[in-house]
Structure 1
Amino acid sequence: MLVGYSSSSEEDGEPGSEARSRNSRRSVEEDEGSRDLPAKKKARTEELDPKTRLPLPGCLLSMFPDDDDETLTEDSSLHGGRIRSFKHERGNWATYVYLPYHPEEEFEELLEELLSTLGAHGPILTQQEEFHLSLSQTVVLRHHWIQPFTQSLQSGLSQCRRFACSAATLKVYCNAERTRTFLGMEVSTGHAQLLDLVRVIDKTMTEFQLDTFYKEPSFHVSLAWCVGDQTEKMKELLQELQVLRCC
């Protein structure tokens, strides 16, 4: 027997005796049930109790700071003085569409002469590590957008045909934040075809509610850059640099 209780007529006749009997049975059953719990299950129950959990060491908590408690900071000196155009946030991916350019030996020799001439009379520029022609602005994608974004671009651009493209004119550019100045070569052949590509890319940007490209873009390949707005100084040297490029 799990429960023992009295069934005398006196107790049955007392007010509340039935309720006391039920409470008594429930209490005894709970006590018996707790004794029947396996040791592992009881230990697991204690582990789930937040009052019995041990606190995490401070060294582990500092590895994963909350965005609200600590702001991510960057040292621009580690990136040649470059400053982000927008704040970095976890889960965001800075993205842009571009055509890569793989330079030949003659191009690298010409670029070395250009930078040497410019450095002797104006600001010292840092050569681009890689060369490309941008077809979109820099936008921010969430991680789960990356695959459908890429698929949308592939679908739209799959019908585009190959075409020739060349650049001939030196030009100075400055970013919207006026934090960097670039020396670039503007496209002279293939401008119309590049506009067709931009229209296709803009459709994808609109689909994801992102910024489209400039209305009147100046397609170019950036050659080198410097920190700050050095537009006026570099424009003064353009004529001399252009003569050197033509030679």
Structure 2
Amino acid sequence: MPLVNYSDSESESETPPRPVKKSCHNTSQSALPPLPAAFHDLYASTTRVSVQDDPSLHGGRKRVIPHVEGNWPTHLYLEWYPVKEDLSLLASLIPQSVTTPDDSSTQVHSLLHSDLGAQLPLHISLSRPVVLRTEQRTSFTEKLQNSIKESHIPPFKTRPNVLCWASNYEKTRWFLVFSVQRPLQNHLNRLLQLSNDALGQFDQPPLYADSRAHGQQQQASSIDEDNDTNTGDFSGCFHISLAWSLSEPSSRDRDRLARIDLQALRDIQIGFDSMKAKIGNNVTSIPLDSSLN
């Protein structure tokens, strides 16, 4: 199943957020209150160290969208910060998914933590990596906000489904991903349609709803039997990435992955109460309609 290219998996123009670490000097049993959700949006990327495509700065990865003055890389997505117990479970899946270093050349890089050990957010993409012009940013954001508000889509939950290795279209990177189950009220497909509609008004391509993505959907349908390719149901395409590699997993890696017991993974609940729109370094959080819950 090839993956659509998206910012945190493919575009290295920005890097993920680095939440502030808790103080090591407080030895009391009381936990610090959680940071407000908006805090993470303020630090959605670190300082850009280069506008050139320098793979050495990003573990060998290459920028998908070249830096052009006046162009703003844009990505729409749903963000998820796993709780401690779920994070530990997800972290344990990564070493289980590859053979030992002596038996495999696959070097896997976790997407769960930064190089300094800080937890990173995971996400479900609702757009490709697209580009807006400077003069389009405000009007696009307003149109998207209005459409989400008028949709009255409430916060919702889903669960993991199938774990697999998948490549991007260019087969330059492979990702350890899990697909997610279709929410009861089909909210993922509804949000995808709103995202595609908003992007279409600015001449940007849709996610999944074209001929190439339809081929991906048909492949994904072999993973998710509830996926209906005839009614525009892209439930089998939605996924969350846990790790990436520049090398294609070996057949032994794939066999090893197929033997992992996924029952504990499928017990995880993944909740969303907003959509994120990242334009350049700026992240706008668009809340879902909590009045309906």
Q: TM-score, normalized by length of structure 2?
A: 0.55
Q: What CA deviation, in whole Å up to 9, does each residue of 1:86-144 have, x standing for no partner?
A: 32212211111100001111222112221222344442311113201111111011122
Equivalent residue number for residue 164 of structure 2: 171
CA-to-aligned-CA distance 1:135-168 (integer Å, 9 cap, x gap): 1111011122111111111011112222222212
Tell me which moved more, 167-176 or 204-213.
167-176
8 Å contact from structure 1 (residues 125, 224) kept in 2: yes
Instruction: Give the distance between the partners of 1:225 and 1:131, measured in 2 at CA.
Output: 13
Match of 1:87 among 49, 56, 66: 66
Where does residue 117 of structure 1 map in the other structure? 96
Q: Which has the larger radius of gyration?
A: 1
Deviation of 1:174 (Å): 1.2
Partner deviation per Cα, 1:200-239 (whole Å, 9 max, x = no partner)? 1111111000000103441011111111444756433321
Retained in 1: the 8 A contact 2:165–2:249? no
Taking the TM superposition and a 5 Å limit, the aligned residue runs for 1:177-192 are 177-190=170-183, 192=186
Matched, 1:219 2:210: no
Indicate whether 1:195 and 2:189 are aligned: yes
**C-alpha separation between the residues in 2 aligned to 1:201 and 1:167?**
22
| C-alpha distance in 2 between matches for 1:171 and 1:179 | 17
Whether contact under 8 Å (2:73, 2:131) holds in the other structure is yes
One-letter identity of the residue aligned with 1:155: N
Q: Which residue of 2 aligns with 1:133?
A: 124
1:239 maps to amino acid: A
User: Structure 2: which 5+ residue stretches go unaligned?
Assistant: 1-50, 112-119, 210-216, 218-233, 267-293
Q: C-alpha separation between the residues in 2 aligned to 1:164 and 1:244? A: 18
Letter in 1 for 2:195: I
Note if contact 2:96-2:257 (Cα within 8 Å) is conserved in structure 1: no
Counterpart-to-counterpart distance in 2, 1:244 and 1:124: 26
Q: Does 2:69 correspond to 1:76?
A: no
Please tell me whether the aligned partners of residues 167 and 173 of structure 2 are also in contact (alpha carbons under 8 angstroms).
yes
Alignment RMSD (CA, Å): 2.3
Q: 1:148 to 1:234 in 2, by over 3 A?
A: farther
Q: Aligned letter for 1:75?
A: D
Percent of aligned pairs with the same amino acid: 30
Distance 1:196 1:243, change over 3 A: closer
| Aligned pair partner of 2:257 in 231, 238, 242 | 238
What is the alpha-carbon distance in structure 2 between the residues aligned to residue 114 and residue 190 of structure 1? 24
Structure with the greater relative contact order (CA < 8 A, sep ≥ 6): 1 or 2?
2
TM-score by length of 1: 0.64
Candidates 79, 95, 98, aligned match of 2:77: 98
Return closer, same or farther for 1:85/1:242 CA change in 2, 3 Å cut-off.
farther
Aligned residues: 176
Show structure 1 runs of 5+ residues with no match.
Answer: 1-71
Q: Residue 154 in 1 paired to residue 145 in 2?
A: yes
